[in-house]
Structure 1
Amino acid sequence: MVFYLTSAPASIFGIHTNQYVIPPKMFSFIREISSLVAVAALLVPTLAAPAIGALAAPPDVAIDKIIYGGTGCPRDSAYVNLASDRQSFTAYFSKFTASIEKDNIRNSRKFCQLSLAVDTPPSWQFTVVETTFTGFASLDSGVVATHISTAYFAGSTEEQSFSIPIRGPTNQYFTFRSTSVVGTGGWSPCGTQALLNIKSDLRLTGEGRGAITETSGKVSRIFALQWRNC
Structure 2
Amino acid sequence: MKYSVSALVLGLFACLSAAAPTPDDKPDPSQVSIEGITYAGTGCKAGSVAISLAGDYQTFTLSFDSYVASIGPGVPFVEKYKNCNLNVNIHYPPGYQYTLYTTDYTGFADLQGGVSASQTSRYWFAGFPPGVTLGTSFTGPYTKTYSFTDTLASESFVWSPCGASTTLNINTQLLLTSSDPKASGIITTDVVDLKAKPKQAYTYGIRWQKCTK
Q: In which range does the TM-score fall when normalised by the shorter chain?
A: 0.7 to 0.9
Q: Given the two structures, how large is their TM-score scaled by the length of structure 1?
A: 0.69
Distance (Å, rounded) in 2 between the aligned partners of 1:89 and 1:227? 20
Which of these residues, 166, 184, 188, is aligned with residue 213 of structure 1? 188
Provide the aligned C-alpha RMSD in A.
3.3
Which of 61, 84, 87 in structure 1 is aligned with 2:32? 61
Contact 2:12 2:205 in 1 (8 A): yes
Q: How far, CA to CA, are the matches of 1:63 and 1:96 in structure 2?
A: 23
Gaps of 5+ in 2: 17-24, 195-202
Are the aligned partners of 1:72 and 1:95 in contact in 2 as well (CA < 8 Å)?
A: yes
Question: Does the Cα contact within 8 Å between 1:152 and 1:185 map onto a contact in 2?
Answer: no
Match of 1:130 among 102, 112, 115: 102
Q: Residues 83 and 152 (structure 1 numbering): CA distance in 2 closer, same or farther, change over 3 Å?
A: farther
SS in 2 for 1:194: coil
TM-score, reference length from structure 2: 0.74
- Alignment check: 8 A CA contact 2:67 2:188 kept: yes
Question: Could you say what secondary structure the match of 1:157 adopts?
Answer: strand
Structure of higher RCO (CA pairs closer than 8 Å, 6+ residues apart): 2
Mapped partners of 1:60, 1:71: distance in 2 = 34
- Whether the 8 Å contact between 2:26 and 2:208 is mirrored in structure 1 is yes
Cα separation, 1, equivalents of 2:129 and 2:192: 30
Q: Deviation at 1:102?
A: 2.2
- SS of aligned partner of 2:69: strand
Partner Cα separation in structure 2 for residue 188 and residue 99 of structure 1: 35
Contact 2:14–2:26 (CA under 8 A) maintained in structure 1: no
Deviation at 1:114, TM superposition (A): 0.8
Paired residues, what number? 189
- The question of whether the paired residues in 1 share the 8 Å contact of 2:12 and 2:206 is answered with no
| Cα offset, 1:82, TM superposition | 7.9
Post-superposition offset of 1:127: 0.7
1:30-69 → structure 2 map (5 Å cutoff): 31=1, 33-34=2-3, 37=4, 53-54=15-16, 55-58=25-28, 59-69=30-40
Identity percentage over the alignment?
A: 30
Distance 1:48 1:197, change over 3 A: closer
Q: Does 1:95 align with 2:66?
A: yes
Tell me how far apart the structure 2 counterparts of residues 136 and 186 of structure 1 sit (CA, whole Å).
29
User: Paired residue for 1:229?
Assistant: 210
Contact 2:123 2:170 in 1 (8 A): yes
* Long gaps (5+) in structure 1: 1-30
